[in-house]
Amino acid sequence: MNRATYLICIACAMPLFAQTEVTIPDTLSGQEFHLVLQNGNFQFQEGIDSETMGVNGPVLGPTLIMEQGQFADISVENQLGEPTTIHWHGLHVSAENDGGPHTVIHPGETWNPQFTVLDKAGTYWYHPHLHEHTDEHVSKGLSGFIIVKDDEEAALELPRTYGVDDFPLVIQTKSINPTGEIVAHTNSDTELMVNAVMDPRLVVPEQVVRFRLLNGSSQRVFNFGLSNNQSFHMIASDGGLLNVSVELTRLMLAPGERAEILVDFALTTGSTTSLLSYAAELQNGIYGAAQPGMMSMQSLDGYNPNPLNGSDFEVMRFEIVDPTVNAVTTIVSNLASDTPLTESESDITRQFTLTPEVMGPNSINGDFLINGSYFDMETINEVIPLNNIEVWSITNQSPIAHPFHIHDVQFYVLDRNGVPPAPTEQGRKDVVLVKPMETVRFITKFEDFANPTVPFMYHCHMLTHEDAGMMGQFIVVDPLATNSNLAGLIPTVVTLGPAYPNPFNPTTTIRYDLPTRSAVTLGVYDITGRTITILADTHQPAGAYSIHWNGTNDLGNPVSTGMYFCRLEAGDYSKTIKMVYLK
């Protein structure tokens, strides 16, 4: 990139500007987490109010500290006055707890996901996932960190004093118009911030310091490095520790990706140094490079002018102070002993092709499709048998790089255009940047959670692309369960079978079949027609289902003995059966 821009950008890093101390988010820990989604007011720029959204505050949210193996009981109260969802990005949780677009939290409602933390120690995050509104809600400020701890990580000599030598840093660019309004779905993200602070400065001790970097931007890819070109060590990727630390001078991070790095400030000469994004070195075809498309005639609406595109710029300034007592002074090299899955173990390869909706020079402006389709809430794109080990092969046939993300699982990158990944990409990941005309293959195992009705998502983590439909969904089904629609068991007609046992006490099982995906209501009524409980009220894919009723009403109280009716409504079909509850 041209030298003039470089010099101007370095100039703004000089002490002409008063820099603001970076805010380190509060932490929540223990078994219960209370999150309140709220509207707020926040001054990113002094004197200019922006209407924001935050978690337990006006912008961003607390860091949730979780221990592997613990039970997490989370309440998410929506005081925004509009619907949203909260997704635990990177955590391996069941589809019902995942917070995808099907799990809407309506205004005034509280959602209560509960799960056991199965993940490895690492840096994860939470953010909204409402279909077509993810960019708006994230840009307005909804997101926070999740730090998982485990015994393997605890045994290593790593910095882990939160806010002292271990810092979560979410780096974001936003578009904020002169009146302070945060604009979503735009390519004019000129405002750079770390933990919602612009022109940020962080006081760090003169020792080994750990940064948990999260690219929380809607679209921008960063190419991190230190101002003096000092090397640093990457110790963890999206899903936890790398097996060995990797010495680097540059680290590219795409939207949604995390990396933990160690910087030895004892090696730094002088009392300040900076974290930069060496965006002038980004190859064309990546959002953040001089050219976001592969060819010069391919440009994004509103992309230029933007001083961040294709120029090196300062992300934050470090001010180095005296070391702490018990400072970590060495870089651990052997971190973990994680065994990646290998291709020979795979059951199937699935192909995903990313294409622009229109061809030609304007194709870079999207929309973008996955396997030729837009996201449709009612379409399940992939049905995956529980415990399948799968290779996913992602081919980008568009002129811009897309960060591909999958829910439910962490994966291992097998190769990029047939070449094994760099050491930084050999660990557990949940986002991978797929460059133009590139094929990235990864391998993963769909274990622990099956649910024939609630899907998981896969999508581009450029939020503008995701909101415009660059997303698909999969269900994980248990071939051994009665509600599986695999094994050639797709029914041909809708049926509601008799309840069994009947009469019953304490529980009866109601079975029904769906030949196609339908809107389903399954209710229990008393002999006067009063609703006792609704057992299902959702869209369900084709399949054979069995649902249990334990003789309680919708408040969970036991009903009196006697006769009840169960009615299934599925599309045009409806049928009612009798059940007798005995004491």
Residues that bind ligand C2O (CB under 6 A): 87, 89, 127, 129, 256, 405, 407, 457, 459, 461
DSSP for 317-332, please give it.
EEEEEPPPTT---S--
Cα 390 to chain center, whole Å? Answer: 20
Binding at 462: pick from Cu ion, ligand C2O, none (beta carbon under 5-8 Å per type): Cu ion
By a kind-dependent CB cut-off of 5 to 8 A, residue 127 interacts, out of Cu ion, ligand C2O, none, with: ligand C2O
Nearer to ligand C2O, 200 or 216 (CB): 216
Q: How far is the CB of 256 from ligand C2O (least distance, A)?
A: 5
Q: Which of 137, 149, 210, 402 binds Cu ion (CB under 5 A)?
A: 402
In terms of phi and psi (left: phi > 0; alpha: psi -120 to 50; beta: otherwise), the region of 30 is left
Return d(Cα 350, Cα 341) in angstroms, integer: 16
Distance, in Å, from the CA atom of 305 to the CA atom of 103, rounded to the nearest integer, reads: 39
What is 272-301 written as a DSSP string? EEEEEEEGGGSPSSSBTBS-SSSSTT---T
Three-class SS state of 246: strand
120 binds, among Cu ion, ligand C2O, none (CB under 5 to 8 A by kind): none
149 binds, options ligand C2O, Cu ion, none, Cβ within 5 to 8 A by partner type:
none
Listed ranges 143-151, 280-288, 433-441, 455-463: which one lies at the site for Cu ion (CB under 5 A): 455-463
CB nearer to ligand C2O: pick between 127 and 317: 127
Pick one of ligand C2O, Cu ion, none as the site partner of residue 475 (Cβ within 5 to 8 A by kind). none
Shortest gap between Cβ of 89 and ligand C2O (angstroms)?
A: 4
Which residue stretches of 14-79 are H helix? none
**H-run or E-run covering 76:** strand 71-78
Contacts of 433 (CB under 8 A, 6+ apart): 221, 252, 254, 257, 286, 401, 402, 403, 404
Shortest spacing between CB 516 and Cu ion, in angstroms? 29
Q: Which residue has the tokens 């045994």?
A: 155
**Contact status: 462 vs Cu ion (CB under 5 A):** yes
- Assign 3-class secondary structure to 404-444: EEECCCCEEEEEECCECCCHHHCCCECEEEECCCCEEEEEE
Please say which residue, 59 or 214, places its beta carbon nearer to ligand C2O.
Answer: 214
Minimum distance, C-beta of residue 540 to ligand C2O, in the bound complex (Å): 22
Stretch that binds Cu ion, among 3-11, 293-301, 465-473, 494-502 (CB under 5 A): 465-473
Handedness of CA 548, 550, 551, 554 (dihedral sign): negative
Q: Least CB distance from residue 257 to ligand C2O, whole Å?
A: 10
Q: Which residues partner with 354 through β-bridges?
A: 370, 396
Shortest approach of ligand C2O to residue 560 CB, angstroms?
45
Is position 465 an interface residue for Cu ion (rule: CB under 5 A)?
yes
Q: Which does 256 bind (CB under 5 to 8 A by kind): Cu ion, ligand C2O, none?
A: ligand C2O
- What are the backbone dihedrals phi and psi of residue 279, each rounded to the nearest 5 degrees, phi first? -75, -15
Query: In whole angstroms, how close is the CB of 405 to ligand C2O at the nearest point?
Result: 5
Binding at 402: pick from ligand C2O, Cu ion, none (beta carbon under 5-8 Å per type): Cu ion
Binding window for Cu ion (CB under 5 A); candidates: 37-45, 295-303, 306-314, 458-466: 458-466
C-alpha angle 76-82-83 in degrees, rounded to nearest 5 = 55
Choose the stretch contacting Cu ion; rule: CB under 5 A; options: 272-280, 404-412, 484-492, 556-564.
404-412
Minimum gap (Å) between residue 472 Cβ and ligand C2O: 11
Best CA proximity match to 512, nearest among 559, 466, 574, 450: 574
Three-class SS state of 343: helix
Told to check if 89 binds Cu ion by CB under 5 A, we report yes
Q: How far is the CB of 427 from Cu ion (least distance, A)?
A: 17
Q: In the complex, which residues of this chain contact Cu ion (CB under 5 A)?
A: 89, 402, 407, 460, 462, 465
